[in-house]
């Protein structure tokens, strides 16, 4: 490990490396709290990718054309891949895949609340790509420079693939908006349903986010929740206008002085309610995850038994 200030305590040396924008690698010394926070953050992110496959999987069999179906399949496969990159990164910190999945299934670990909302129409596939993945990109791009090496490298991979997701979502929206009035209406309804939950994806207001300061100091977070939320609104309002859609917030207005959009207050009661497990789909999502895991147990065991048997045979021969 590169030593910047040999006379300092391990904690101070660690912080000096981070301040110098050097990466921390798996076997380097790190404070226990840094390790724990990262395991929580990375596994939570991995769980979100995994659970994120469910609302979209819902539409694979009902995609409106073969082309859309192939694209959606590829996207859902990417989400699985993103989950795998991230689980691997978390494992370098000393936790195990089994432990992380057990924590997800028991409800101890969280995943992004956005996936606890239902996907009711095909236009929701557009909104998930355009808005939800758009918000995810804003969250994720700064993490390509995060202080923990394996996490940063995983994020580079994720971000490269994520922009296809957003564009395909926008294209779905654009096609609907250029279609029949009833199709455009479907797009508007989906936007009405997804707008606020997407704004919630950036997390509580800065004033209610006590861990932000420490996470920014460790560079495992590089912008505050409110900063990212503002960026998102500034990015999305003109895109909605291009589509001829209206963002469901009467308070959205360009502020010449701030050079940014003013917007209304998120319903924080709803936010905390979904986080606590009372969203429309919390129960269904977790149940689907647990069921898939349990029903796949015999496959995992059989594969191990098969590998052991082959090894044995090879040793005898």
Partner 1 sequence: MNNSEWPLWEVFIRSKQGLDHKHVGSLHAADAAMAMQNARDVYTRRLEGVSIWVVESRHIHASNPDEAAEFFDPAADKVYRHPTFYDVPESIKHM
Q: Does 12 bind partner 1 (CB under 8 A)?
A: no
| Nearest residue to 263 (alpha-carbon basis) of 231, 223, 241 | 231
- Binding-site string for partner 1 from residue 92 to residue 121, where x marks contact by CB under 8 A and - marks none: ----xxxx--x-------------------
Residue 266: φ, ψ to 5°: -65, 145
Q: Among the candidate windows 39-47, 86-94, 165-173, 177-185, which touches partner 1 by CB under 8 A?
A: 86-94
Q: Does 79 bind partner 1 (CB under 8 A)?
A: no
d(CA 207, CA 153): 30
Q: What does the block give as tokens for 146?
A: 């995060």
- What is the Cβ-side half-sphere exposure of residue 65, based on CA atoms within 13 angstroms? 5
Least Cβ distance, residue 32 to partner 1 (angstroms): 17
- For the chain, what's the residue count? 317
Q: Closer to partner 1 at the Cβ: 102 or 120? A: 102
Q: Among the candidate windows 14-22, 23-31, 220-228, 284-292, which touches partner 1 by CB under 8 A?
A: 23-31
Q: Does 167 bind partner 1 (CB under 8 A)?
A: no
With contacts defined by CB under 8 A, how many residues of the chain interact with partner 1? 33
Least Cβ distance, residue 98 to partner 1 (angstroms): 5
Q: Does 175 bind partner 1 (CB under 8 A)?
A: no
Q: Among the candidate windows 25-33, 114-122, 210-218, 249-257, which touches partner 1 by CB under 8 A?
A: 25-33
Residue 249: φ, ψ to 5°: -150, 110
Q: Does 226 bind partner 1 (CB under 8 A)?
A: no
Give start and end residues of each alpha helix (H) in the chain: 10-19, 32-57, 66-91, 97-106, 122-127, 133-140, 149-177, 181-200, 212-217, 225-243, 268-273, 282-295, 297-316
Q: What does the block give as tokens for 118?
A: 């239902």
Can you give the binding site for partner 1, defined by CB under 8 A?
A: 1-3, 25, 27-29, 74, 77-78, 81, 84-85, 88-89, 91, 96-99, 102, 153-154, 157, 161, 300-301, 303-304, 306-307, 310-311
């Amino acid at each position: 490990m590169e030593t910047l200030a040999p006379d300092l305590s391990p904690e101070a040396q660690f912080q000096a490396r981070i301040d110098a924008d050097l990466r921390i690698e798996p076997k380097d010394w790190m404070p226990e709290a840094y390790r724990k926070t990262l395991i929580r953050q990375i596994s939570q992110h991995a769980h979100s990718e995994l659970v994120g496959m469910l609302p979209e999987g819902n539409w694979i069999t009902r995609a409106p054309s073969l082309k859309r179906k192939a694209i959606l399949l590829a996207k859902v496969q990417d989400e699985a891949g993103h989950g795998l990159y991230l689980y691997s990164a978390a494992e370098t910190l000393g936790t195990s895949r089994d432990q992380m999945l057990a924590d997800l299934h028991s409800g101890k670990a969280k995943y992004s609340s956005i996936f606890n909302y239902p996907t009711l129409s095909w236009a929701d596939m557009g909104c998930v790509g355009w808005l939800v993945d758009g918000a995810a990109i804003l969250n994720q791009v700064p993490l390509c420079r995060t202080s923990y090496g394996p996490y940063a490298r995983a994020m580079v991979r994720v971000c490269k693939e994520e922009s296809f997701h957003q564009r395909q979502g926008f294209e779905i929206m654009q096609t609907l908006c250029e279609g029949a009035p009833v199709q455009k209406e479907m797009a508007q309804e989906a936007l009405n349903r997804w707008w606020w939950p997407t704004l919630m994806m950036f997390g509580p207001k800065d004033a209610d986010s006590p861990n932000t300061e420490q996470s920014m100091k460790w560079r495992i977070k590089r912008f505050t929740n409110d900063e990212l939320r503002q960026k998102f609104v500034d990015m999305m309002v003109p895109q909605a206008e291009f589509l001829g859609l209206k963002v469901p917030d009467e308070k959205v207005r360009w502020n010449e002085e701030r050079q940014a959009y003013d917007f209304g207050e998120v319903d924080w009661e709803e936010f905390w309610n979904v986080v606590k497990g009372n969203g429309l789909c919390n129960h269904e999502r977790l149940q689907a995850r647990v069921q898939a895991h349990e029903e796949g147990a015999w496959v995992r065991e059989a594969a191990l038994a098969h590998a052991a048997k082959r090894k044995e045979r090879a040793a005898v021969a």
